[in-house]
Amino acid sequence: MGLGRTLLALAFGIGCGRLSPGDLPPADDSAEALHRLLQQLPAPEEERARQRDIWLRHFYQRRDGQPAWTGADGVHARADEVLLELDNAWLHGLNPEAYGRTPLRGAVTALRVGSSHDAAAAAAVDVGLTAAFLALADDLRRGAVDPAAVSVSWGVRRSSTDLSGLLATAISLDQVGINLRRLAPASPEYRRLQRALVEAVGGTAEDQAPSAELLRANLERWRWLPRDLGPQYLLVRIAEFELDLVNNGQRQTRRVIVGEPYRQTPQFASEVTHVVVHPPWRVPPRIADEELAPGLDPERGAVRLGALRQEGFEAWNYAGQPVALDSLRWVSTDGFSSKYRLEQRPGGSNPLGKVKLELENPFSIYLHDTPGAGLFTRLGRDLSHGCVRVEGIVDLVRQLLQSSTSAARQFEVLLASAETGRVELPTPVPVYLLYWTVSVTAAGEIHAATDLYDVDRRLLEVLQQAAGAAWWLAPVLQLYFRQQQGS
């Protein structure tokens, strides 16, 4: 019986069964059918699908071309573990059908009720189950979509490890389901979001609780992150205007000011290795070009130059030579920042305040103090050019230095002086700047924030279009049915 007619029979209630011993083919028939199918599969064009295609072929190479899910006894029980995990993909906010849940379940059942062996069908099921495992495993491990497709300012990079070895190990240990589940984030926050999703889908959530769609978006954001953030780290929750100091699971929270919607604070991971006390402010090129340089136009230059001088600004050319402020001129056709570098001395109106935490990143973003402490009382604190102003950052630095008496003393001496200086942290501290519109409080409560930068809509669109295992399943089924029609 062909697979198409078998599926039709299933609709009329035929039960499950196994291949009878007399109908089993020699092992090399299945291997040959599998080999032919892999040869006929087209190479995907999209980068991530190409990676998964390589893993799939590596997996069968590890097995010397032998099938993994089908064999002398029909379809192995481990196939049911994969199908169960596909059923449960929605618990992660993922679409089970993106991994071929329905056609794979039907094809597995069709093989089991067939009265004769169909080598092509067995090969299609084998490749389909492998593709589904690898796609779901990859999506659980690093997210279903590339975060760079949602935000141009994403800076948390994770490698695309070959998952064929993981699948080979899972098969050998007969632990397919548990190895898939272990790839998802294990943090309490992720699991709490999952419970909230179950409540939202089941209609038991309170009216003010986040929607299932928002929960899906934020579960995806968790999957983008490294699984271990470290025993101590700083976490800036951009959309919630807050920073957490997390130390062995204990969290202290401070208010922050982040970038305006048209000067968004980017998402990235870095670490802070030192503190700059009484930092000068090196004016970013964009601010110099758009805000300071236009005031130097010849008609009103004298007024603006006086203000710059009073506020402690100095100028250099890119050869490192000081330039008199009086000599600075600007016309709209000039690229001011390509000629001059502006810097403001510490103190007074310097926007960095008393302390700056340097972060290595391509966006020139750092954490710093501010002379405008009154702004922390505002509810909407998207007010900066992108850098993050931290309330009580001096006390935060003291906490980061408390394990080193000498560093703590050096910090206090510099703080009491008017001198610029640098203090090394005893241990580098990871820093994560992340954008969550649904998060979990320290008490385990779900909290929704305003989508400050209007990115949820785009994320959900891309998540809805995530390919899953389609790159393999579509051609696998097409090739199989073409073979059926030709037989």
Concatenate the DSSP letters of all residues of 115-158 into one string: SS--HHHHHHHHHHHHHHHHHHHHHHHH-SS-GGGT-TTEE---
Model pLDDT for residues 293-327, shown as the tens digit of each residue:
777 765 655 556 777 778 888 888 888 888 887 77
Q: Is-contact 393 368, C-beta < 8 A? A: yes
- CA quadruple 386, 388, 389, 391: dihedral positive or negative? positive
Structure tokens at 309: 């001088």
Enter the pTM of the model: 0.85
CB burial of 253-284 (b: ≥16 within 10 Å; e: otherwise) equals: bbbbbbbeeeebbbbbbbbbeebbbbbbbebb
CB burial of 391-402 (b: ≥16 within 10 Å; e: otherwise) equals: bebeebbeebbe
Tens place of pLDDT for every residue, the chain, 487 residues?
A: 343 333 323 222 222 333 333 333 444 588 898 999 999 888 888 888 899 999 999 999 999 999 999 987 789 999 999 999 999 999 999 999 999 999 899 889 888 887 667 888 899 999 999 999 999 999 999 999 988 888 767 777 777 789 999 999 999 999 999 999 999 999 999 999 999 999 999 877 776 779 999 999 999 999 999 988 989 999 999 999 999 999 988 999 999 999 999 899 999 999 999 999 999 998 888 888 888 777 776 565 555 677 777 888 888 888 888 888 777 776 665 677 888 888 889 987 899 999 999 998 888 899 999 998 899 999 999 999 999 999 999 999 999 999 999 999 999 999 999 899 999 999 999 999 999 999 998 888 999 999 999 999 999 999 998 888 887 777 776 665 555 555 4
Tokens 């997390």 belong to which residue? 246
CATH code reported for the domain at 231-280+348-434: 2.40.440.10
Spatial separation of the C-alpha atoms in residues 261 and 20, rounded to whole Å = 65
Q: Residue 423 in 3-state DSSP?
A: strand
pLDDT of residue 44: 85
Model pLDDT for residues 230-254, shown as the tens digit of each residue:
899 999 999 999 999 999 889 999 9
pLDDT of residue 42: 84
**Total number of residues shown for the chain:** 487
Q: Is-contact 271 430, C-beta < 8 A? A: yes
Of 389, 298, 296, 280, which Cα lies nearest the Cα of 337?
Answer: 296
Q: Residues of CATH 2.40.440.10 domain(s) within the chain? A: 231-280+348-434
- HEC profile for 316-355? EECCCCEECHHHCCCCCCCCHHHHEEEEECCCCCCCCCCE
Of 397, 346, 354, which Cα lies nearest the Cα of 373?
Answer: 354
Write out the catalytic residue numbers: 368, 387
